[in-house]
Amino acid sequence: MLIAITRQISPRFDECELTHLDRQPIDLERARVQHRQYEAALHELGCEVISLPPEADLPDSVFVEDVALVFDEIAVITRPGADSRKPETESIAWALSPYRMLRTIAAPGTIDGGDVLRVGQTVYVGRSNRSNRSGVEQLQALLAPYGYRVQSVEVTGCLHLKSAVTQVCEDTLLINPAWVDRSIFGEMRFIDVDDSEPSAANAVWIDDAVIYPSSFARTQRRLEAAGLHLKIVAATEVAKAEGAVTCCSLVFRRV
């Protein structure tokens, strides 16, 4: 059984943290509609969706991916790099506690889950404004007993590692090579985003399907040409908050 933890849109979503984008008006009602459609896509792909209520005072709290990392063995509650997001961890820890032993990243360490890409037993962590060396070292110490290897990765031009690269099937990564060096990922196959769609590398891989945003038609055609089964969703409003489809859920197997 797959579990997907999500959180509903905060009424203060338009006060979100921004690093690389200029602020644009966010249509809160459209954001809520799109988020419900996203949750429906998770359900259609076999997930039991646990939709947490909105956090009125935490604008970025829909982005649950950033505050926890869920492995088969444990869950790691992160310490987000933006101070405004640190209070988000309490409710996510509560939601995860029935499913996993919990471990935490402590000060001065910071990690955003959007910087963490697990490919097999290798856990890549982006060196970004949100994730620091102490956080990476703590994550390595927490995961080493379970056979994982943590590797730090340089990213440029984007907020998180998973803005630049995500996994779309067992042996394939979707990548913007201008933002991250493909040679880091060894013998994986790659699908490059279209040059006109630099933000198109974020996708959610669930078994034999991929949740993918509707905004990137050219890259979408590349994914379809590779034989991938896509579940297309609208994500225009979370994109204005420097979010994407992976950001809005924590997907893991019940063990």
- Which residue numbers are catalytic? 160, 247
Distance (Å, whole) CA 216 – CA 201: 9
Please report which residue ranges of the chain form alpha helices under DSSP H. Answer: 28-44, 89-96, 133-143, 161-164, 217-225, 236-240
Helix (H, G, I), strand (E, B) or coil at 31: helix
Give burial (CB, 10 Å; 0-12/13-18/19+) of 230: middle
Asked if omega into 87 is within 30° of 0 (cis), the reply is no
Q: Which two tokens stand for residue 191?
A: 């699908």
Question: What distances in angstroms separate CA 102 from CA 54, 85, 107, 137, 210, one per listed residue?
Answer: 23, 19, 17, 17, 28
Question: What distances in angstroms separate CA 171 from CA 115, 143, 213, one per listed residue?
Answer: 20, 22, 21
Please report which residue ranges of 86-132 form alpha helices under DSSP H. Answer: 89-96
Residues with Cβ within 8 Å of residue 208, at least 6 apart in sequence: 229
CA-nearest of 12, 3, 21, 106 to 60 is 12
